[in-house]
Amino acid sequence: MKWLLMVISTFSVFSVSAQTNMPNTIHAHYTQEPIQLDGKLDEPPWQQAIRISNFTQRELNVGEPATERTEVAIVYTAKTLYVGFWGYDSEPGKLVAKEMKRDFSWGNEDNFEVIIDTYNDDRNGFLFVINPNAARADAQVLNNGDAFNKSWDGVWNAKTTITPEGWFAEIEIPFSTFKFRTDIDKQVWGINFERNIRRKREQLLWQGWSRDSELELLNRAGTLTGLDNIVSKDFIEVKPYAIGGGEFTPDRKEGQLNAGGDINYLITPTLRVNLTFNTDFAQVEDDQQQINLTRFPLFFPERREFFLEGQDFFDMGMGNKIIPFYSRRIGLAEDRSTVPIIAGARLLGKVKNSTLGVMSIQTANRDSIPSTNYSVLSWRQDVLEQSSVGILSANKYENGRLHSTTGAYGLYSTSMLFGNKNLNIGAAYTQNYNSDDFNSKANANRIYLSYPNDKVEFDMSWQRSATAFNPEVGFLRRDNFQEFYTELEWKPRPKNFLKWIRQFSFKGLDMNYFIFDDTGSLQSFFYEIRPLGFETRSGEFFEFNLQRRAENFREPFEITEGITIPEGEYWYNRMEIQAATFQGRTVSAYTKINWGDFLDGNSTESQYELSWRASRYFKIGANYERNWISLPQGNFNTSLVGSRVEYAVNPNLFGSLFSQWNSEDEEAILNFRLQWIPIIGADFFFIVNQAYDTKGGAWTLERTTILGKLIWRFVI
């Protein structure tokens, strides 16, 4: 036994050390000299700063040195942090850079990424991404990469240059963009860097370059020191907006002129209060249309920036089928029309090892919908190295009646299993409370285990939503159920044969077994095996799946108008093929075809997507979905068509034209959106929305909405 423990201990030490590339500390150089943000890196502070260059491949050849010289340095003034990037390249003419807009899709581009853990807690960080065109994207990372909020928009800027030697960049981030502790003598932050060279499919990391790691795993980041001269102070950020325009229909014309805004007050560098007045979301793009052939409600993701920014604070780990707090219940009716928001307050931040989220929103009455208050409280406490416990309470007060969904959760997480493997084990429980009726059986719970690693991925969970459970400020993809879920995927990487394949994907187990909670009888069943799946070294992927499904209808189900499925139990088999080309190419495509038995008939489902990245100024995408359904009760087809044209004049002026139509609603939606960033922190939007009735084959204009919206940022 002692011998075995020694072997395990030695292996663990070796695995951990293999994540660390010395030096693993970068020292920030303080300067009082001005830095001109132009991407040229020619000021004296850049020459005086110490550069790090020890980058290692995670892809394609793990553990190998970078094939292109890469260097990074940090410079700062009392109020601003600067990151310098030297991305030398032997063939700069082959850089993949076709995006310029804010929050671009960086997964298909040459890029440079920096993640900064200002709390130095190995859990939470700010991610900043740029490409050679100076396109910018950012995100908040929480729970050591478990939560990822791409909708966070920090105040920062970047400039780049491309020369015969490669591409180079300066990133400018005011310290006011960060949250960090000030009750300590010296600032020591976690930091890591990543560079992607897309034509080579090469991914480089400074630290934590194992295949079972990634940039978002902050416990494997390096260290940033030298930040001893930061001027930190509380500040107030005011973001007023003004909006003007109108809605036009064949019968009426209605003008719109409105104003409102947000006030953000930084109580401490880690805790912020946000006040919002007469909140407006006119700049948000329309939802992606969906066709529903099930008896369960459709889920539409949150798209409003105000709610997205704090979304991860109000997630208690119940998964995506039981959602105790669903922010789209606020300010949106069941038909997805707008309900005015009068005002709201929000508190988000971290105090030592406690993460706190509080939000209260008051909506106005509209037609038959009464004025309602929505209040949510979340508290999460860090325990051990990567684990946490917490509580969440989502509440609704309407017409003198209080509804509450309140629960607790815990997560044990480690990325050091067997040295460097990842493991998550969690549990959550939540209970309904109504002031007019309390039912102790109105609850839901979940237990889960996840082993998400490169070669072997294993997941399992059990969850239950009782018959009486109804989270009125949440969302249930289905109710009255228990689910037993397990999945095992093996993903080997060939070394001595089939070298054009990067990684295989074989799945022998993927099961979702649902039963009705009140009777224990079958509700739904899904089982999938994957005899073959792979991704090539050049970025293409393919998978072939075999599926066994079942549905049990306890009452007749109208699948479409005029066609009803009798109650009963239905078992059937299906097959599926998915394939795609590398999306970083000028032209890329994706297809999915699923066919076979369907209930007591058969169907074929197909989906196609095509993208043309013509240049960094212009991109066109199109998608088409078609279902052919044949049942004893009748035959029918469904179609969904969409297109998107994106354009960018520069990183601060860009827009899109989005259109979609589906045969179920027989309505075409057109959305034109232009965004201009006159200065960093301010935005101007120009939006045109049109809806057409296409019944009978003719396009009849139903309504046109034209709006202009200006948001300006002031710091006091």
Q: What is the pLDDT of residues 290-337, one digit of tens each?
A: 888 899 988 888 888 788 777 888 988 898 899 999 999 999 888 878
Q: Which residue has the higher pLDDT, 197 or 312?
A: 197
DSSP-derived letter for residue 133 is T
Report how far residue 254's alpha carbon sits from residue 278's, in angstroms, rounded to the nearest whole number: 19
Q: How far is CA 302 from the centre of its chain?
A: 10
Using only C-alpha atoms, the chain has a radius of gyration, in whole angstroms, of: 27
Report how far residue 295's alpha carbon sits from residue 564's, in angstroms, rounded to the nearest whole number: 12
Residue 274 lies in a domain: no
Residue 8 pLDDT > 70, yes or no? no
- Percent of the chain at pLDDT above 90? 72
pLDDT at residue 16, rounded to an integer: 41
Residue 692 lies in a domain: no
Residue 183 pLDDT > 80, yes or no? no
pLDDT at residue 201, rounded to an integer: 92
Task: Extract the tokens encoding 145.
Answer: 């990469």
Q: How many domains does the chain have?
A: 1
Q: Which residue has the higher pLDDT, 235 or 558?
A: 558
Report how far residue 317's alpha carbon sits from residue 147's, in angstroms, rounded to the nearest whole number: 10
pLDDT, mean of residues 153-171: 95
Task: Extract the tokens encoding 42.
Answer: 């020619």
Question: Of 485, 480, 496, 498, which Cα lies nearest the Cα of 442?
Answer: 480
Whether the CB-CB separation of 172 and 36 falls below 8 Å is answered with no
pLDDT interval class at 18 (50, 70, 90) = very low
Which CATH number does the domain housing residue 122 bear?
Answer: 2.60.40.1190
Residue 4 pLDDT > 50, yes or no? no
pLDDT interval class at 233 (50, 70, 90) = low
pLDDT at residue 640, rounded to an integer: 95
pLDDT at residue 305, rounded to an integer: 77
Q: Which domain holds residue 34?
A: 18-227
> In 10 A of CB 70, how many CB atoms?
24
- Which residues lie closer than 8 Å to 27 by C-beta, 6 or more apart? 50, 74, 225, 226
Residue 546 lies in a domain: no
pLDDT, mean of residues 665-684: 93
pLDDT, mean of residues 2-30: 60
DSSP-derived letter for residue 332 is B
pLDDT interval class at 599 (50, 70, 90) = very high
- State pLDDT tens for residues 46-57: 999 999 999 999
pLDDT at residue 124, rounded to an integer: 86
pLDDT, mean of residues 239-260: 91
Reported as type and span, the H/E element at residue 10 is helix 2-17
Residue 12 pLDDT > 80, yes or no? no
Report how far residue 447's alpha carbon sits from residue 409's, in angstroms, rounded to the nearest whole number: 10
- Percent of the chain at pLDDT above 70? 97
Question: Of 701, 579, 606, 610, which Cα lies nearest the Cα of 291?
Answer: 606
Instruction: Establish how many alpha carbons lie within 13 A of residue 503's alpha carbon, considering only the half-sphere containing its beta carbon.
Output: 13
Residue 114 lies in a domain: yes
pLDDT, mean of residues 145-157: 83
Write the Ramachandran bin of 477: left for phi over 0, alpha for psi from -120 to 50, otherwise beta. Answer: alpha
Residue 199 lies in a domain: yes
pLDDT at residue 10, rounded to an integer: 38
- Which residues lie closer than 8 Å to 500 by C-beta, 6 or more apart? 536, 537, 538
- State pLDDT tens for residues 389-430: 999 999 999 999 999 999 999 999 998 888 889 999 999 999
pLDDT, mean of residues 590-613: 96
Paired residues of 606 in beta bridges: 593, 626
Residue 213 lies in a domain: yes
Residue 177 lies in a domain: yes
Report how far residue 362's alpha carbon sits from residue 371's, in angstroms, rounded to the nearest whole number: 7
pLDDT at residue 322, rounded to an integer: 96
pLDDT at residue 7, rounded to an integer: 36
The average confidence (pLDDT) of the chain is: 91
pLDDT, mean of residues 139-154: 81
Residue 3 pLDDT > 70, yes or no? no
Residue 51 lies in a domain: yes
Instruction: Establish how many alpha carbons lie within 13 A of residue 139's alpha carbon, considering only the half-sphere containing its beta carbon.
Output: 20
pLDDT at residue 566, rounded to an integer: 95
